[in-house]
Amino acid sequence: MEELGGGEWKSEREVGKSERDVGKCEREVGKSEREVGKSEREVGKSEREVGKSEREMGKSEREMGKSEREMGKSEREVGKSERERERECKTRGIVGLV
């Protein structure tokens, strides 16, 4: 028997049941904490994957920009060549052949 206070007593069987209930609650709390930890690790993993994807996107965008600059350079060179050819044709007196 265990005294609860105020002259009330609790039987050993009730005390054992209460202790088992407390143990069960503690196990459930532990399980919940493990699940939270697992979720936090998964979130961290997802965040790292997002960061990796963003870096790869940035790299792709830089490569696209480089390709666009190279295309622009090529187009300017073609335009320059066409103007030179046109100028050459005009100096030789050939009109309409470009």
Domain ranges (residues) in the chain: 2-92
Six-digit token string for 71: 């295309």
Provide the strand spans (E) within 2-97.
2-5, 8-10
pLDDT, tens digit only, all 98 positions of the chain: 666 666 666 788 888 999 999 999 999 999 999 999 999 999 999 999 999 999 999 999 999 999 999 999 999 999 999 999 888 888 887 665 55
96: DSSP letter? S
pTM passes above 0.75: no
Element (H, E) at 74: helix 12-92
High-pLDDT (> 90) share of the chain, %: 69
